[in-house]
Every structure is written in structure tokens, then in C-alpha cells.
């Protein structure tokens, strides 16, 4: 009986390994894969496929996205387009955005950075009164344009197509004229020993300025960004007041943040 159970366990493990290898082959060929398609192709449940993708992501072999996964290149400075970013860790971003919105009070003046997580936050501002939002992100400006409770300010600059954000000297000059209550910042990488990172130098300069003109800086980041660096350094942890993330954050990263005096909120 024990030998039979052992044989079955080995077969199960081998079939799992074979399936994951085939998933990686598909990903290499197509650049992305989808849970429902993989479930039908391998005749296993979508729960099994999601577990496969989660395990492969833990090994840095792919990036989980809404409904599937995307190819992981491992390159420093990888700069996804906003439409691609919107697929990655979508459920976590929704929860982070909703929780972050609870940190805003009536009549505050806030800065909102470009990004898909900050975009999820601004979808939850209807309960606030007389809120002023300054944003360099066109996608966020569109989301807020018809909100009667929000005073919207868009600094000048030229548009980066990947992030749909306004950057450059004109944007920086405009921001220097403001003092705000809170800045909500998104990043592409955070190392809890060093600080925050983004793939674009102009974005990093603008983020630095956002932090400088704000009384409080709140970082919105899903747990996949921890332990990653990108091309341009933004700032150290000493400039951050609060971090809103998800349950996937490692205990050591959470501890380092808290030891740095940062309040950590888990969505």
C-alpha cells in the first residue's frame, strides 16, 4: 500500500513538473498565457493552473497578471506600458487602492502619482467633500474629470506614453508652486534596505519633487515590487510615512519598514 501511494505521488509530481514546463514553453513562444485556456488545454481546474502560475512567479520565471501571466525578462529598468501594468496583480491593486482612499480626509490637497494602483485609489473618492487633487497622470485625470466633489489640477509637461504621465521641466516647475497635505506615490521597485525605484529618470525627478512639497508621503505598492530595483533611484525610506501593500509582503520587509518608522497597512 505504501509503495502504491509513493508511486502515485511520484506520478503526480512528474505530471505537475511536465505541465509547468509546457506552460513556460507557451509563455516563451507567446509572451503571455491565460488561466482559462491553460485549464482547458491541460484538462485541470483553473485553481490548479493559478497555483502553477503562483509557484512559477515565486521562482521569478513569470509575472502574474489578471487572468493569466506575462513573460518575465529580469531586466533592470523594464518599463511596461500602462495597459500592460493594468493586468499585473490586478486584484491586489484594487484592494490596495480601496484601502488607501480611507487615508484621505475632507478638504485635503493631495498629489497623486501616475500608475495603475493609484488609479484604483481615485475610484474610491466619492465620499469625500471639497477634495483637491493634483496629478500629472492623464489616466487619473480622466477618472476624476466628472467628479463634482473634486477640484482637479493638472501640471504642465510633455507626456510619457508608457505611463501616460506629464514629466519634464514644465511639470517640475509647476509642482514647485504647491504645498500639499499628502502625496500618493507608486513605484516599480522597492528595496527595504535602500529605497524606492522607477525605470525612468524623469519620473524619478518628479517623484522626488512630489515628496518634497508634501507634508506626508504614502507609498502604494503590491508585494511583488519588494526586493526589486529599477534604473532610477527615487528616495530612501526615511522620506516615506506610510506604505499600503497586500498580504504577500514578506515578514522581513514589513519589519524593516516598521523599524524605519513607517506605518504599514495590509489590504
d(CA 108, CA 182): 8
CATH of 85-266, one of 3.10.28.10, 3.90.1150.10, 3.40.50.1360, 3.40.309.10: 3.40.50.1360
In a 3-state reduction of DSSP, which class is residue 145? coil
The CA–CA distances, whole Å, from 35 to 12, 23, 45, 95, 244 equal: 20, 10, 9, 21, 28
Q: Return the residue matching grid coordinates 490548479.
A: 48
CA angle 13, 33, 139 (to 5 degrees): 135
Position with higher pLDDT, 230 vs 42: 42
- Most confidently modeled of 35-39, 49-53, 85-89, 118-122? 118-122
Residue-wise pLDDT tens digits, 185-217: 999 889 999 899 888 888 889 999 999 999 999
The pLDDT of residue 27: 84
CA of residue 85 relative to chain centroid, distance = 8
DSSP letter string, 156-193: --EEETTTTEEESHHHHHHHTT--EEEEEEE-SEEETT
Confidence bin at 260 (pLDDT 50/70/90): very high
Contacts of 64 (CB under 8 A, 6+ apart): 53, 54, 57, 88, 89, 224
In a 3-state reduction of DSSP, which class is residue 211? helix
Q: What is the 3-state secondary structure (H, E, C) of 185-205?
A: EECCEEECCCEEEECCHHHHH
Which residues of the chain does CATH 3.40.50.1360 include?
85-266
The 10 Å Cβ neighbour count of residue 5 is: 9
Query: pTM of the full predicted structure?
Result: 0.70
Confidence bin at 255 (pLDDT 50/70/90): very high
d(CA 144, CA 262): 29
In a 3-state reduction of DSSP, which class is residue 218? strand
Domain 2-72 has CATH 1.10.10.10: yes
Which residues of the chain does CATH 1.10.10.10 include?
2-72
Parallel/antiparallel/unpaired status of strands 68-71 and 32-34: antiparallel
Position with higher pLDDT, 228 vs 129: 129
Contacts of 48 (CB under 8 A, 6+ apart): 39
Element (DSSP H or E) covering residue 96: helix 90-101
The pLDDT of residue 64: 75
- DSSP for residue 24: H
Residue 75: CA count within 13 A, CB half-sphere: 7
C-alpha cell at 140: 487619473
CA of residue 219 relative to chain centroid, distance = 10
d(CA 248, CA 200): 26
Residue-wise pLDDT tens digits, 71-114: 765 554 444 554 455 456 788 999 999 999 999 999 999 999 98
- Most confidently modeled of 5-14, 51-60, 183-192? 183-192
Amino acid at each position: 500500500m505504501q509503495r502504491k501511494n509513493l508511486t502515485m505521488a511520484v506520478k503526480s509530481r512528474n505530471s505537475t513538473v511536465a505541465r509547468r514546463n509546457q506552460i513556460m514553453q507557451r509563455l516563451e513562444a507567446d509572451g503571455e498565457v491565460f488561466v482559462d485556456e491553460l485549464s482547458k488545454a491541460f484538462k485541470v481546474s483553473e485553481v490548479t493552473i493559478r497555483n502553477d502560475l503562483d509557484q512559477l512567479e515565486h521562482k521569478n520565471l513569470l509575472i502574474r497578471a489578471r487572468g493569466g501571466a506575462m513573460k518575465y525578462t529580469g531586466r533592470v529598468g523594464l518599463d511596461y506600458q500602462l495597459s500592460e501594468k493594468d493586468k499585473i496583480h490586478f486584484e491586489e491593486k484594487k484592494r490596495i487602492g480601496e484601502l488607501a482612499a480611507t487615508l484621505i480626509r475632507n478638504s485635503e490637497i493631495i498629489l497623486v502619482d501616475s500608475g495603475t494602483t493609484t488609479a484604483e485609489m481615485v475610484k474610491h473618492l466619492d465620499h469625500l467633500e471639497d477634495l483637491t487633487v493634483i496629478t500629472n497622470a492623464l489616466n487619473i485625470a480622466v477618472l476624476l474629470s466628472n467628479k463634482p466633489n473634486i477640484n482637479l489640477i493638472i501640471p504642465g509637461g510633455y507626456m510619457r506614453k508608457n505611463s501616460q504621465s506629464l514629466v519634464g521641466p514644465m511639470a517640475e516647475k509647476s509642482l514647485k508652486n504647491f504645498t500639499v497635505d499628502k502625496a500618493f506615490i507608486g513605484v516599480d521597485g522597492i528595496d527595504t534596505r535602500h529605497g524606492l525605484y522607477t525605470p525612468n529618470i524623469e519620473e524619478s525627478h518628479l517623484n522626488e519633487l512630489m515628496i518634497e512639497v508634501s507634508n506626508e508621503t504614502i507609498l502604494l505598492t503590491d508585494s511583488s515590487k519588494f526586493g526589486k530595483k529599477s534604473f532610477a533611484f527615487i528616495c530612501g525610506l526615511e522620506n516615506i510615512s506610510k506604505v499600503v501593500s497586500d498580504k504577500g509582503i514578506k515578514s522581513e520587509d514589513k519589519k524593516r519598514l516598521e523599524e524605519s518608522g513607517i506605518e504599514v497597512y495590509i489590504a
